[in-house]
Structure 1
């Protein structure tokens, strides 16, 4: 049986199965979110945006099509290799560790679709926010799009089976030691696989503490991709705007 390594995200994100399981992600919703977000931030055409932990680049492509100059970075070499086919003069992709400052300044830095809180070391969460601060131009904005853990805790689906491309993915979700886990088991071509996703169960108060220590200011918070007001009990997302 294949099992995750200590850094689960490097093992899981670089497999083809990760992309099979999540192939039905809503690209239209992603595009609408980017329009709402860039409008709220009043980003002019040609503004420079860093898409931090960009995966295969779906948000980066939307932003580029809207006229922005976009750099997408991710730790997954497989995802970046795929995304590079879409590169052009104003869209570039690169392998990069988001705990470290990227050597360029941007009008906005986006960390989207719960791409935060994966790290083995607690300090890496703080280091990532400090890195975002270093990557921003004066008057630039950072954005973290995270789960609302209070809502997730009340509405957790403990187990689920999802069939994609003929593969039955058996998923189990649970909270343990301050983290939200998702165990994923499946069999393909007579080989059993087991991966675990793990994200720190961070709340708004946790992010406020990070921001204070990193020396950044929380400007606003939203509860969904239409930028409706954040409600601790009922919002599915926690979208944070800071500078």
Structure 2
């Protein structure tokens, strides 16, 4: 999922739908500094094109991001050449240093694949945190919350383009299969259409908390969050 065409219009669509990256970054940093007031470094895991990371960089002295999709990283480096963006898998990346805080936004943790992948990701997060460092993870839906067959859609006009998105989500085992159709039209390139298909794992609250505990992170589930799916917030022992 997240090929070249999707990466190109990703931010335009979600900002057009009202996603406020500035407010979300401020909320996360406030939450982090409520637990570690001297936070001066932050790593954003599965950072996409770096939209949150760019905002984090306006609030925290040193930031870095890691992202699996090469096309997302390419777009991010083009948009934000001042940012430290690394291409890597959340399950096995190693930046060779630790941070005061680690975030994983926009339900990206669901891309860890299965329970073993979740545990590997949690371990990577823990090993990139200083003792007393703070983790904030925005989860995907849990199995009991997910609505099988859910359909979503929207149309936005932004940056000289009209972008339409329609998606269908279905449960496949312990995961959500999301099929997304995008239609994009602009004066220069005309009308084009592409499809993305992805899998996001449906983890239980117990599976999340167990994975974080095994990674040396004392975590709790907090209701709310930017997407209303809650947050897992924890401190490295």
What's the TM-score once normalised by structure 1's chain length?
0.77
Instruction: Specify every segment of 5 or more residues in structure 2 that has no aligned partner in the other structure, as ranges.
Output: 185-189
- Give the alignment of 1:69-218 within 5 angstroms: 69-85=62-78, 86-88=80-82, 91-100=83-92, 101-120=94-113, 122-149=115-142, 152-153=145-146, 158-163=150-155, 165-166=161-162, 168-185=164-181, 193-218=194-219
Say if 1:40 and 1:186 are closer, same or farther in 2 by CA, change over 3 A: closer
Query: SS of the residue aligned with 2:198?
Result: strand
Moved more, 70-79 or 14-23: 14-23
* Inter-partner Cα distance in structure 2 for 1:179 and 1:241: 23
* Inter-partner Cα distance in structure 1 for 2:207 and 2:222: 14
Q: How many residues matched?
A: 220
* Inter-partner Cα distance in structure 2 for 1:222 and 1:140: 21
Partner of 1:9: none
Say if 1:161 and 1:40 are closer, same or farther in 2 by CA, change over 3 A: closer
What's the CA shift string for 1:8-48, capped at 9, x where partnerless?
A: xxxx2122135436623247632222222222222557711
Say if 1:190 and 1:201 are closer, same or farther in 2 by CA, change over 3 A: same
* Inter-partner Cα distance in structure 1 for 2:145 and 2:7: 22
Say if 1:124 and 1:81 are closer, same or farther in 2 by CA, change over 3 A: same
- Measured on the aligned residues, the alpha-carbon RMSD in Å equals 2.9
What's the TM-score once normalised by structure 2's chain length?
0.78
Q: Which of 211, 214, 236 is equivalent to 2:228?
A: 236
* Inter-partner Cα distance in structure 1 for 2:192 and 2:19: 35
Say if 1:41 and 1:162 are closer, same or farther in 2 by CA, change over 3 A: closer
